[in-house]
């Protein structure tokens, strides 16, 4: 999120619809429109231009080019702010694209000048980790397994129908072994009476595929485990089996008693997994929809219609109210309904669907919610009842022959808040109990606020839950009339931290989860908390590594990194399809306005209602 928040000390926030200026930054990463703003995402013509320039660049000699990421190479922040302060009279900064491509088993980072129609740079990445998977190679790896004679024999040994088998690709992670190939594990599921394939895993069979060679390099058939029943697992209403099968994708699973850990954004692409929203079901009747584009393996743009919806929400909530009965002969009652503007997208990353809402309120607050729904990742088992289990199975039994795996979800938000300018500071308000001394009061204790301004990155790493803490971003150069720094505070929702040991390999790769909050100086190159190349990464890139520099962050252009998390112990109500589980946080103005911004000056004298 890139929000430039300005102080409206004298001018109250206008009607909710005028809050749309916030959205320019939010939706620019995924919405394709004409270039009205320097941060607009690449248009279809710009994507085609990038594809042509990159293919031409690698055409001599002819080479096999596979695209794994194409996006806007953002202009310098100073150029964007200069353009913005000029009331858009300046020319938009030069447009550039950033592409990650694989050529002859090597990863190339290519920067393309769209303004000058040329390649600016081409660098080969030689570090640990690989680019995110693209859909074409995932599909090819699954099809390769379905035609592999040893696999066909294993399916026949289980008396299963090959035509009812669906095979999906899963990243392999890293557990300190030496790897030199892009590998995926292919695991398979059984339909035969349901489209809820994730509830019918074919346990015991795995194939390892080298994606660059598109070749099966290992195959295992360990044991025959009963496939869970199809009865009671189908969740469809009117959709056809064929349509739903086409929508399945990668997720995460367990291989025996070994956890595999997935980084959905970096390994599969959260944006690539964005899906079309259905009117009246995903979004209300008053929603406006926007299309978007993703990039295919060959670099061409692919239209995904209706990937974002925007709507005003009135759910019967109260924005503020007061009843005054203390005035003789009068009963004063004032109520304002909560009406907010919501921007929604959904990413279907394999078995899970993630619903992301950005809600903009008239009070100036921004609430961010993430809803988890879809299908659990389950394991087949010989057990049909909990009383039969005498071993650690890493999750509860949900149905006959079906174990739901205990698992976590961590979603990290990069929050570039410019509160009334780019020079900001991060303040921790610790609420502390103080003993009352002497005989001045009958009270024995009270509490006070101890404010600490973070000087460096290490000062701003916070594990929430150990005490009462307020988290604020202020502009130390701007004050309200009564002398308070203008600011915004981050209000966490449910607080969740990692349960893995710090030396466990998944935790090494996902070390950004160690703290709920990090603060770093703005750096255009520091974009993804787990690093740019997370597939088989070693944890040597990303937020925890950048923050080791312990840079100064007081009165600087700073970025907040907030991690929202879930520990999920499945229950039977999550089977066979999971009701939405939601977590959230809020960015709330704190001394940003001179008074409550939802009231106009004339409204401060209210008419009594008797």
**For position 31, what pLDDT does the model report?**
35
pLDDT digits (tens, 9 = 90+) for 462-518: 999 877 689 999 999 999 999 999 999 999 998 999 999 999 999 999 999 999 999
Please report whether residue 292 resides in a domain: no
Mark whether 398 and 512 lie in a shared domain: yes
* Residue 27: DSSP 8-state: H
Mark whether 176 and 103 lie in a shared domain: no
Transcribe 92-140 into DSSP letters.
PPPPEEEEEEEETTEEEEEEEETTTTEEEEEEEE-SS-BPPP-HHHHHH
pLDDT digits (tens, 9 = 90+) for 72-104: 999 999 999 999 888 878 888 899 999 999 999
Check pLDDT > 80 for residue 308: yes
**Among the options 352, 488, 533, 562, which is catalytic?**
352
**For position 264, what pLDDT does the model report?**
54
Taking each helix axis from N to C terminus, what angle separates 135-146 and 149-157, rounded to the nearest 10 degrees? 60
Check pLDDT > 60 for residue 33: no
Mean pLDDT of 177-195: 91
Mark whether 69 and 141 lie in a shared domain: no
Q: Is 264 a catalytic residue?
A: yes
Mean pLDDT of 113-131: 95
**For position 84, what pLDDT does the model report?**
86
**For position 243, what pLDDT does the model report?**
46
Please report whether residue 232 resides in a domain: yes
Tokens of 342: 């919501």
pLDDT digits (tens, 9 = 90+) for 269-295: 888 888 999 999 999 999 999 999 989
Please report whether residue 82 resides in a domain: yes
Please report whether residue 313 resides in a domain: no
CA 199 – CA 469 distance, rounded (Å): 42
Three-state DSSP at 485 gives strand
Mark whether 182 and 69 lie in a shared domain: no
pLDDT digits (tens, 9 = 90+) for 433-443: 898 888 778 88
- Global pTM value: 0.85
Mark whether 183 and 80 lie in a shared domain: no
Tokens of 323: 């009843």
CA 271 – CA 59 distance, rounded (Å): 29
The contacts of residue 21 (CB under 8 Å, 6+ apart) are none
Tokens of 529: 């908390």
**For position 238, what pLDDT does the model report?**
56
Check pLDDT > 80 for residue 9: no
Rounded-to-5 percentages of helix, strand, coil across the chain? 15, 40, 45
- Is 381 within 8 Å of 393 (Cβ atoms)? yes
**Among the options 264, 418, 420, 535, which is catalytic?**
264
**Residue 157: which CATH number?**
3.10.450.40
Q: What are phi and psi of 55, to 5 degrees?
A: -65, -40
Q: Is 79 a catalytic residue?
A: no
* Residue 26: DSSP 8-state: H
Question: Is the bond preceding residue 63 a cis peptide, omega within 30 degrees?
Answer: no
Check pLDDT > 90 for residue 165: yes
Mark whether 77 and 152 lie in a shared domain: no
pLDDT digits (tens, 9 = 90+) for 328-387: 888 989 999 999 999 999 999 889 999 999 999 999 999 999 999 999 989 999 999 999
User: Residue 360 CA to chain centroid, in angstroms?
Assistant: 18
Mark whether 109 and 64 lie in a shared domain: yes
The contacts of residue 461 (CB under 8 Å, 6+ apart) are 515, 517, 518, 547
CA 141 – CA 249 distance, rounded (Å): 12
Three-state DSSP at 469 gives strand
Mark whether 163 and 103 lie in a shared domain: no
CA 125 – CA 377 distance, rounded (Å): 33
Alpha carbon distances (Å) from 430 to 70, 91, 392, 433, 470: 43, 46, 41, 10, 7
Mark whether 121 and 160 lie in a shared domain: no
Three-state DSSP at 419 gives strand
Please report whether residue 211 resides in a domain: yes
CA 50 – CA 59 distance, rounded (Å): 14
Mark whether 430 and 548 lie in a shared domain: yes
State percent of the chain over pLDDT 70. 88
Q: What are phi and psi of 54, to 5 degrees?
A: -70, -45
Mark whether 396 and 422 lie in a shared domain: yes
Please report whether residue 556 resides in a domain: yes
**For position 244, what pLDDT does the model report?**
37
Please report whether residue 335 resides in a domain: no
Mark whether 158 and 223 lie in a shared domain: yes
The contacts of residue 570 (CB under 8 Å, 6+ apart) are 376, 395, 396, 398, 404, 405, 406
Transcribe 200-239 into DSSP letters.
SB-TTEEEEEETTTTEEEEEEE----PPPP-TT----SS-
Give me the domain span that covers residue 448: 350-596
Poorest-confidence range of 90-94, 213-217, 522-526, 551-555? Answer: 90-94
- Is 195 within 8 Å of 234 (Cβ atoms)? yes
**Residue 520: which CATH number?**
2.70.98.20
pLDDT digits (tens, 9 = 90+) for 481-495: 999 999 999 999 989
Please report whether residue 338 resides in a domain: no
Which of these three, 184, 218, 249, is where a domain ends? 249
* Bridging pattern class, strands 366-374 and 578-590: antiparallel
Domains in the chain, number:
3
Q: What is the mean pLDDT of the chain?
A: 86
pLDDT digits (tens, 9 = 90+) for 247-272: 333 322 323 322 374 555 567 788 88
Which of these three, 74, 103, 125, is where a domain ends? 125
Mean pLDDT of 99-121: 95
Which of these three, 73, 92, 125, is where a domain ends? 125
């Amino acid at each position: 999120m890139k929000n430039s928040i300005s102080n409206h000390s004298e001018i109250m926030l206008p009607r909710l619809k005028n809050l749309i200026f916030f959205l320019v930054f939010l939706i620019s990463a995924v919405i394709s429109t004409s270039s009205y703003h320097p941060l607009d995402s690449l248009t279809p013509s710009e994507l085609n231009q990038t594809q042509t320039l990159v293919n031409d660049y690698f055409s001599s000699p002819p080479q096999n080019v596979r695209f794994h990421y194409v996006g806007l190479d953002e202009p310098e922040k100073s150029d964007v702010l200069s353009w913005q302060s000029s009331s858009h009279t300046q020319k938009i900064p030069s447009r550039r694209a950033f592409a990650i491509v694989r050529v002859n088993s090597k990863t190339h980072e290519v920067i393309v000048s769209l303004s000058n129609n040329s390649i600016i740079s081409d660098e080969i990445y030689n570090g640990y980790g690989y680019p995110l998977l693209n859909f074409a190679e995932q599909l090819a790896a699954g099809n390769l397994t379905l035609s592999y004679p040893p696999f066909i024999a294993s399916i026949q040994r289980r008396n299963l129908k090959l035509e009812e088998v669906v095979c999906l690709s899963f990243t392999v992670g890293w557990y300190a072994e030496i790897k030199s190939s892009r590998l995926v594990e292919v695991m398979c599921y059984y339909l035969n009476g349901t489209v809820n394939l994730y509830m019918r895993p074919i346990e015991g069979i795995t194939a390892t595929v080298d994606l660059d060679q598109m070749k099966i390099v290992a195959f295992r058939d360990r044991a025959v485990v009963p496939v869970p029943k199809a009865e009671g697992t189908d969740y469809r209403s009117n959709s056809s089996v064929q349509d739903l099968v086409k929508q399945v994708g990668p997720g995460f699973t367990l291989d025996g008693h070994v956890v595999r850990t997935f980084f959905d954004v970096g390994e599969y692409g959260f944006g690539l997994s964005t899906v079309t929203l259905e009117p009246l079901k995903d979004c209300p009747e008053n929603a406006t929809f926007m299309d978007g584009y993703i990039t295919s393996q060959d670099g061409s743009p692919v239209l995904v219609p209706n990937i974002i919806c925007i709507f005003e929400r009135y759910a019967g909530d109260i924005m503020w109210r007061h009843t005054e009965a203390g005035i003789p002969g009068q009963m004063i009652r004032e109520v304002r309904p909560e009406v907010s503007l919501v921007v929604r997208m959904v990413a279907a990353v394999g078995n899970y669907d993630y619903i992301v809402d950005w809600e903009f309120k008239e009070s100036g607050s921004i609430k961010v919610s993430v809803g988890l729904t879809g299908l659990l990742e389950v394991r087949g088992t010989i057990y049909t009842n909990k009383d039969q289990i005498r071993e650690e199975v890493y999750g509860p039994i949900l149905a006959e022959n079906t174990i739901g795996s205990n698992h976590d979800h961590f979603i990290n938000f990069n929050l570039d808040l410019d509160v009334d300018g780019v020079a900001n500071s991060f303040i921790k308000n610790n609420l502390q109990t103080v003993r009352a001394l002497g005989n001045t009061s009958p009270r024995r204790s009270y509490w006070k606020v101890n404010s600490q301004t973070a000087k460096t990155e290490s000062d701003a790493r916070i594990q929430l839950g150990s005490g009462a803490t307020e988290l604020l971003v202020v502009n130390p150069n701007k004050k309200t009339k009564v002398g308070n720094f203008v600011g915004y505070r981050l209000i966490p929702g449910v607080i969740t931290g990692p349960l893995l040991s710090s030396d466990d390999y998944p935790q090494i790769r996902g070390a950004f989860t160690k703290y709920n909050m990090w603060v770093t100086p703005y750096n255009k190159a520091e974009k993804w908390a787990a690093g740019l190349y997370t597939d088989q990464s070693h944890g040597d890139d990303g937020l925890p590594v950048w923050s080791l520099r312990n840079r100064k962050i007081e009165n600087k252009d700073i970025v907040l990194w907030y991690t929202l998390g879930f520990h999920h112990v499945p229950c039977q109500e999550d089977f066979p399809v999971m009701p939405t589980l939601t977590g959230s946080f809020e960015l709330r103005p704190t001394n940003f306005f001179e008074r409550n911004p939802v009231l106009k000056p004339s409204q401060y004298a209210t008419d009594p209602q008797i």
